[in-house]
């Protein structure tokens, strides 16, 4: 992106950016944990965590419900927000790298909806072949199938045109919408409510058990993304040139698509479709750290976590006693940014493919 | 010029290579040997199969029949990592998906030697490559903001940074001004002098004559002739292959290939003649 000059891609710059993002994330986590109907000062939040991990240091929350509020409501939700954000930010960065197109994003191209359809089917038909992991597994399979489909449909002769990609997303989202509508029609009232909730995306009601399912999936995805970061850089040269400098393009592509599906599953399984995080965050991070994926992938993970922690804080405090759907908020902000990116793409004669 | 007597083992050998896309036979029974230490120019009219042949030699396209050997080892079936340490390719069209800086792109070429003892030379080779391709002053620039010719030179620097013994260049001079055309081809000659095998697709036959040890003329997917520029670049053969009368002039030891322009008004003719003789003046 010509308009901006990112920091030179040195390892010290990378460490500085990641350090700053990490500090910001911790700070906003403290803020979010203390904010709500019951206010808990940051020192007491720290004290509660310290006592829990066995270091009897700091002050416990003074309010009798303080500890319970933190550990049963706020922390699961907070950690879930951070995990979902990190997964979406990373998924966006990887997907854009593979498609060679900064508009690729799980929500935009329909991967999230594909994963949501599979997960909704689990809810409606009450499947539970792998216990509480069933929804996550279904979301993974749905996401995998959709990512491959979008990839095959939107690529022509080794390139992905912006227009084709966006229109493929429109078509995939439409089909997923139809499938979700059918599932809502077929399901009972409770299932229907769950599905509606999901389409909007929300972290309301995140539970500790769900965090324990999401955490390893997100971790695997993020580690996987870090491992292919160097090769994603070479892929920016184009498929042929990447092969000429030693990249097994076909294999890299398959690995990357599986990584995207894993990350999308982690994000979607319990929080529903939260669109545009994977679009905004890698774009912002590219402005700061440049396009190199070794910096971009971890920065997008931290940035995504930061964004969702703050967005969720806003979602549950903007209106007293109401919990706004977080997916609505991210789309509200992400939509205009998407427009702007699209206009930029047009100025560059049809895209960066 | 390289002496042919030393006759090192062929760096690249294509034997009986045929390739078709649907009904269209792009290559028929193509044989080509390229030895270490020589520059071979691939010339021919549009659609002759030059770029396809280069793709076959690069390992991008698997031929329907025939074999390609790289330093005596069959090319197809080798892993991309292994191939990248033997041959470098400069494509006709370069693309870059994101706003990487010039230096980062040149480093991408060097990445083939990662986890190898040659990696200690990284810095040195990258600097030298940027110097040779005349992009050192652009090192911190973002590649998509450069002109087409500058981007082509960045790609050339990337190829040099790969630092391998076989170079495949697909119209490396197409986007370049005269100074850089000459510079790129002189560098190809230098690489050959140091033992590299260079295959270069060229449209400018005078450039092919000036810089190659041997010329391979392709037409209709077949090799029409292979040999030194003097042997191969004759008015007779070229006129037939290009379906247009072509004259070959010898200007102080340099072959100049000039299309014959008939039925052009004398004023225009003289202007055009001047144009086509431009390379001589520089």
pLDDT by position in tens, chain B (length 282): 444 444 556 999 999 999 999 999 999 999 999 999 999 999 999 999 999 999 999 999 999 999 999 999 999 889 999 999 999 999 988 888 888 999 999 999 999 999 999 999 999 999 999 999 999 999 999 998 899 999 999 999 999 999 999 999 999 998 899 999 999 999 999 999 999 999 999 999 999 999 999 999 999 999 999 999 999 999 999 999 999 999 999 988 889 999 998 766 555 544 444 444 444 444
pLDDT digits 0-9 by tens, A171-193? 998 999 899 889 989 989 988 88
> How are beta strands B39-43 and B65-70 bridged, if at all?
unpaired
Domains of chain B, each with CATH number or no CATH: 10-229 (3.40.50.300)
Q: How far is B124 from chain A (nearest CA, A)?
A: 18
Q: Closest-CA residue in chain B for A287?
A: B99
Q: How many Å apart are CA A303 and CA A277, to the nearest integer?
A: 9
Of B81, B97, B99, the CB nearest to A2: B99
- Count of Cβ atoms closer than 10 Å to residue B19 Cβ: 22
Q: How far is A143 from chain B (nearest CA, A)?
A: 24
Is residue A339 classed exposed, middle or buried when 0-12, 13-18 and 19+ CB atoms within 10 A define those classes?
exposed
Residues 6+ apart with CB under 8 A from A51: A57, A58, A60
Residues 6+ apart with CB under 8 A from A251: none
Is residue A86 classed exposed, middle or buried when 0-12, 13-18 and 19+ CB atoms within 10 A define those classes?
buried
Q: How far is B269 from chain A (nearest CA, A)?
A: 38
Chain-chain contact of A236 with B100 (C-beta, under 8 angstroms): yes
Chain-chain contact of A247 with B145 (C-beta, under 8 angstroms): no
- Which tokens sit at A44? 């007491």
From chain B, which residues contact A within 8 Å (Cβ)? 58-60, 79-81, 83-85, 87-89, 91, 94-101, 104-105, 108-109, 111-112, 140, 142, 144-145, 155, 158, 162
Q: How many Å apart are CA A84 and CA A242, to the nearest integer?
A: 31
Q: How far is A113 from chain B (nearest CA, A)?
A: 26
Residues 6+ apart with CB under 8 A from B40: B32, B34, B197, B198, B199, B200, B212, B213, B214, B215, B216
φ, ψ for residue A300, nearest 5 deg: -70, -35
For residue B219, what are the β-bridge partners?
A: B222
CB contacts, 8 Å: B96 with chain A: 236-238, 352
| Residue B231 or A154, more confident | B231
A321: left (phi over 0), alpha (psi -120 to 50) or beta: left
Q: Please tell me the predicted confidence (pLDDT) of residue A100.
A: 83
For residue A51, what are the β-bridge partners?
A: none
Domains of chain A, each with CATH number or no CATH: 81-347 (1.10.3470.10)
Q: How far is A203 from chain B (nearest CA, A)?
A: 33
CA distances from B225 to A55, A271, B7, B40 (A): 83, 67, 20, 12
- According to DSSP, residue B18 is labeled E
Q: How many Å apart are CA B143 and CA B147, to the nearest integer?
A: 9
Chain-chain contact of A248 with B96 (C-beta, under 8 angstroms): no
CB contacts, 8 Å: B58 with chain A: 244
Q: Tell me, letter by letter, the H, E, C secondary structure of B197-232.
A: EEEEECCCHHHHHHHCCEEEEEECCEEEEEECHHHH
CB contacts, 8 Å: B140 with chain A: 8
> How are beta strands B73-74 and B65-70 bridged, if at all?
antiparallel
Residue B200 exposure: Cα atoms within 13 Å on the Cβ side: 33
Asked if the C-beta of A303 comes within 8 angstroms of chain B's C-beta atoms, the answer is: no
Q: How many Å apart are CA A193 and CA A202, to the nearest integer?
A: 12
Average pLDDT, stretch A336-353?
A: 66
φ, ψ for residue B14, nearest 5 deg: -110, 130
pLDDT digits 0-9 by tens, A162-173? 678 778 888 998
On whether the CB atoms of residues A353 and A300 are closer than 8 A, the answer is no
Could you give the 3-state DSSP secondary structure of residue A135?
helix
Chain-chain contact of A246 with B84 (C-beta, under 8 angstroms): yes
Q: Would the pLDDT of A352 be above 60?
A: no
């Amino acid at each position: 992106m010509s308009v901006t000059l990112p920091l030179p891609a040195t390892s010290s710059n990378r460490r500085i950016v990641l350090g700053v993002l990490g500090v910001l994330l911790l700070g906003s986590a403290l803020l979010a944990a203390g904010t709500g109907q019951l206010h808990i000062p940051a020192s007491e939040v720290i004290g509660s965590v310290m006592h829990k991990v066995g270091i009897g240091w700091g002050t416990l929350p003074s309010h009798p419900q303080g500890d319970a509020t933190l550990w049963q409501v706020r922390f699961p939700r907070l950690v879930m927000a951070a995990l979902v954000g990190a997964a979406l930010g990373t998924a966006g960065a990887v997907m854009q790298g593979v498609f060679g197109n900064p508009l690729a994003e799980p929500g935009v191209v329909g991967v999230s909806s594909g994963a949501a359809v599979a997960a909704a089917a689990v809810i409606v038909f009450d499947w539970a072949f792998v216990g509480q992991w069933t929804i996550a597994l279904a979301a993974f399979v749905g996401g995998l199938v959709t990512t491959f489909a979008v990839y095959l449909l939107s690529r022509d002769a080794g390139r992905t045109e912006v227009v084709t990609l966006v229109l493929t997303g429109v078509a995939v989202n439409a089909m997923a919408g139809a499938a979700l509508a059918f599932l809502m029609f077929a399901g009972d009232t409770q299932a229907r409510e769950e599905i509606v909730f999901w389409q909007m995306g929300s972290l309301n009601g995140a539970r500790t058990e769900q965090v324990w399912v999401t955490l390893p999936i997100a971790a695997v995805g993020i580690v996987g993304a870090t491992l292919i970061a160097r090769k994603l850089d070479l892929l920016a040269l184009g498929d042929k040139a990447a092969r000429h400098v030693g990249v097994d393009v076909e294999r890299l592509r398959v690995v990357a698509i599986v990584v995207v599906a894993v990350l999308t599953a982690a994000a979607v399984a319990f929080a529903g479709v939260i669109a545009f995080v994977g679009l905004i965050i890698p774009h912002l991070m590219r402005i700061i750290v440049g396009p190199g994926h070794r910096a971009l992938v971890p920065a997008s993970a931290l940035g995504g976590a930061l964004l969702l922690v703050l967005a969720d804080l806003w979602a549950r405090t903007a209106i007293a006693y109401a919990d706004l759907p977080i997916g609505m908020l991210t789309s509200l902000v992400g939509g205009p940014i998407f427009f702007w990116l699209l206009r930029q793409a047009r100025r560059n004669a049809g895209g960066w493919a | 010029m390289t002496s042919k007597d030393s006759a090192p083992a062929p760096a690249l050998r294509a034997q009986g290579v045929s390739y078709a896309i649907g009904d269209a036979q792009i290559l028929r029974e193509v044989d080509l040997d390229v030895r270490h230490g020589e520059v071979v120019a691939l010339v021919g009219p549009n659609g002759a199969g030059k770029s396809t042949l280069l793709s076959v030699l690069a390992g991008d396209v698997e031929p329907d029949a025939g074999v390609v050997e790289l330093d005596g080892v069959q090319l197809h079936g080798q892993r991309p990592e292994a191939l990248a340490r033997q041959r470098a390719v400069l494509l006709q069209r370069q693309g870059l998906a994101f706003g990487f800086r010039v230096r980062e792109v040149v480093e991408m070429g060097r990445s083939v030697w990662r986890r190898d003892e040659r990696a200690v030379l990284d810095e040195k080779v990258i600097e030298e490559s940027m110097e040779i391709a005349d992009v050192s002053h652009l090192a911190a620039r973002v590649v998509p903001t450069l002109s087409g010719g500058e981007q082509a030179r960045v790609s050339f620097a990337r190829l040099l940074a790969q630092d391998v013994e076989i170079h495949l260049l697909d119209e490396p001079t197409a986007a370049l001004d005269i100074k850089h055309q000459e510079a790129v081809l002189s560098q190809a000659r230098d690489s050959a002098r140091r033992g590299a095998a260079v295959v270069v697709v060229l449209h400018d036959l005078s450039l092919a004559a000036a810089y190659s040890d041997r010329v391979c003329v392709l037409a209709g997917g077949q090799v029409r002739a292979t040999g030194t520029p003097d042997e191969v670049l004759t008015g007779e053969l070229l006129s037939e292959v290009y379906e247009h009368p072509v004259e070959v002039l010898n200007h102080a030891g340099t072959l100049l290939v000039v299309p014959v322009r008939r039925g052009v008004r004398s004023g225009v003719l003289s202007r055009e003649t001047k144009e086509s003789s431009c390379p001589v003046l520089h």
